[in-house]
Chains A and B, each alone.
Chain A
């Protein structure tokens, strides 16, 4: 009856969810596919190549650093592939490949593995890599955007220095229509098709990989700030706010980066504080800073605050709540 090979006892429960870390990461990869397809349509196969280089180098760096640290190999959990994909989405399609590899090195080796690997990084690896690349190579990162569809039409300037966000700020050129903003604009690989990003976000929420709290609060806060600014300025506040929401990396950041498990709070209350903070910092940078985009910095800054937010928002254990609440429940019950 009892087979005496490989005896192992285990604590209850004896049934477990089928969800695994790998499954969750696979879902994130699937959710990123629509945006990848969109970027290939807009920027051509160069976009696919940047993504491939980024994913491959992240996985290789993960493998090598685990090996060097004599720790179990973790490339199978697919988290390095997710980091690679998100890093690529934060880069212009025109970026030299070696810079992509350098970014992957920062993300995986420095930010992720040197702090203990998955779940231990204190800021989002892809975002910090993007920031390092931005300050190291500002020209490649911030001033040479591929014009959408230029790869198919040689009559258009292949490279532009203007993104909708920079036009919004400087007012140098005319803005594209709001409708076209939903599907294509100049910018980083992954942020250019708002519709594809939202589609991926809905998939993640439906699959219960992420809770919608962070994306909604983040985007909502930016929306409110922009409306307020628009009204104060006496412009067409609604169209101004709509352009702001669809521009830059806001949707990519709110859906895919601010929701990173390791660097976002656990409780719902914490998530709200975190996301509103991200939205406020993004708005402040966009409106009053001298940079066009503030999403990356806002998320990274709030990432650093997460341990404190977590500590302040630990829910009260059942039966250890304050008496006030108990009385309320009592009233309801009777």
Chain B
């Protein structure tokens, strides 16, 4: 690495399978640009698999940035905050990227981005206070799935010995985690220290894919400066292979432990957090400003000025794209998330997909699967409708990373088959009254 004494560890577990996808990290050197406040935001009351929130504001209310606008008593959820200041103009419904319809609060901007007055740094002395503060911050995992962070952190004390900070960012194009490591490296480090101390986790591994040398360099140089936790926080360099950042794969790479099917990371003593979530924890503990924005990479061959942007939650994709210079070519698809696992927001003519042809039994799907499944035979079992065989084949450990379909020369929609297989298992379980 060229830095004296900087020790970057390499992976403990060797991932079998995975695919080499072109990285397209075109925006890796572009600082995150904060976009000006939009005229209007539509904030959905459900943005993760947990319970939806109920709006607690009414049409006509004046709200400020960071003010709570939706909450629930359900455990697996997190409150939602206004991302701009202005007036609530509607409490209605909106359609999410996955097609689900959910309630949403529309706020029209007063152009001031006025901060809510009640915001202050939380008082944190105990584990319980910390978890309550994280819940109040509205933090959900910023890696993609958006799982409420306070739920993840509420493991039984003493069961987790390793915090894995996930900065793999294995999806093509996306570079915001890389930017987070470079631009807010001290936030990352102090976030780590806060979580480590309050939750009493002895060991921390910051795992970065090898294609982000700058992030690795910066993180490892500042990790060495943390005298207090000398030797307990390390930076690990992982092979750039998709899906390195998937939770179970990440744990295996970083610790050599395998999370058994149907179990959680805490069952093998691990906690995995996205690097941007960790940095947010540090900022929240310091200033008390809830989660109201996130960073995005806007890229693709149809985008005029690909770049990294920080946007208020609820801003329309069309406006974000306009800020990136709009389209320079007719887009075929607008994808939210990465190209491997993301879902389609809008689409037009479909030319990027191959025509599906017959399976030639080449076995590339099986070789690519990081969970060691044989997608071609599972697809075959789907046709027979044998649910027991589907369960035995391990269908439920599939995380839909798309490595199988990516590598299929016959262009078969294998992820779709896997989803179908899983829903068959779910339905059979329901029919059995389980």
Q: How far is the CA of A15 from the CA of B354 in the complex (A)?
A: 10
Q: Are B260 and A13 touching (Cβ within 8 A)?
A: no
Q: List 20 A-B contacts (CB under 8 A).
A: A4-B348, A5-B348, A12-B340, A14-B333, A15-B339, A15-B352, A16-B406, A16-B411, A17-B19, A17-B409, A21-B360, A21-B409, A117-B358, A315-B366, A317-B371, A318-B261, A319-B261, A320-B394, A329-B13, A329-B256
- Given the complex, which residues of B lie within 8 Å of A261, measured CB to CB? 360-363
> Is A23 interfacial (CB-CB < 8 Å)?
yes
Of the listed stretches B70-78, B184-192, B304-312, B412-420, chain A binds: B412-420
Q: How far is the CA of A330 from the CA of B407 in the complex (A)?
A: 31
Which of B263, B318, B330, B419 sits near A3, CB closer than 8 Å?
B330
> Is B376 interfacial (CB-CB < 8 Å)?
yes
Q: Are B344 and A10 touching (Cβ within 8 A)?
A: yes
Q: Are B394 and A24 touching (Cβ within 8 A)?
A: no
- Given the complex, which residues of B lie within 8 Å of A77, measured CB to CB? 357
Given contacts A12-B340, A119-B360, 15 further A-B contacts (CB under 8 A): A2-B348, A3-B348, A4-B348, A10-B347, A11-B413, A15-B21, A15-B339, A20-B411, A74-B358, A310-B377, A317-B393, A319-B248, A320-B397, A330-B256, A332-B12
Q: How far is the CA of A24 from the CA of B263 in the complex (A)?
A: 39
> Is B183 interfacial (CB-CB < 8 Å)?
no
Distance between A82 CB and nearest chain B CB, rounded to angstroms: 11
Q: Are B343 and A12 touching (Cβ within 8 A)?
A: yes
Q: Are A319 and B407 touching (Cβ within 8 A)?
A: no
Q: Are A1 and B256 touching (Cβ within 8 A)?
A: no
Distance between A4 CB and nearest chain B CB, rounded to angstroms: 7
Question: What is the size category of the interface that chain A forms with chain B?
Answer: 35 or more
Q: How far is the CA of A301 from the CA of B315 in the complex (A)?
A: 64
Q: Are A6 and B407 touching (Cβ within 8 A)?
A: no
Task: Using CB atoms, name the residue of chain A closest to B420.
Answer: A11
Which of A7, A10, A266 sits near B413, CB closer than 8 Å?
A10
Interface of chain A residues 259 through 311 with chain B (CB within 8 A): 261-262, 266-267, 310
Q: How far is the CA of A217 from the CA of B241 in the complex (A)?
A: 29
Which of A16, A19, A119, A333 sits near B13, CB closer than 8 Å?
A333
> Is A154 interfacial (CB-CB < 8 Å)?
no
Distance between A84 CB and nearest chain B CB, rounded to angstroms: 17
Give per-residue flags for B293-335: 1 if the beta carbon is below 8 A from chain A beta carbons, else 0: 0000000000000000000000000100000000100110101
Q: How far is the CA of A11 from the CA of B333 in the complex (A)?
A: 12
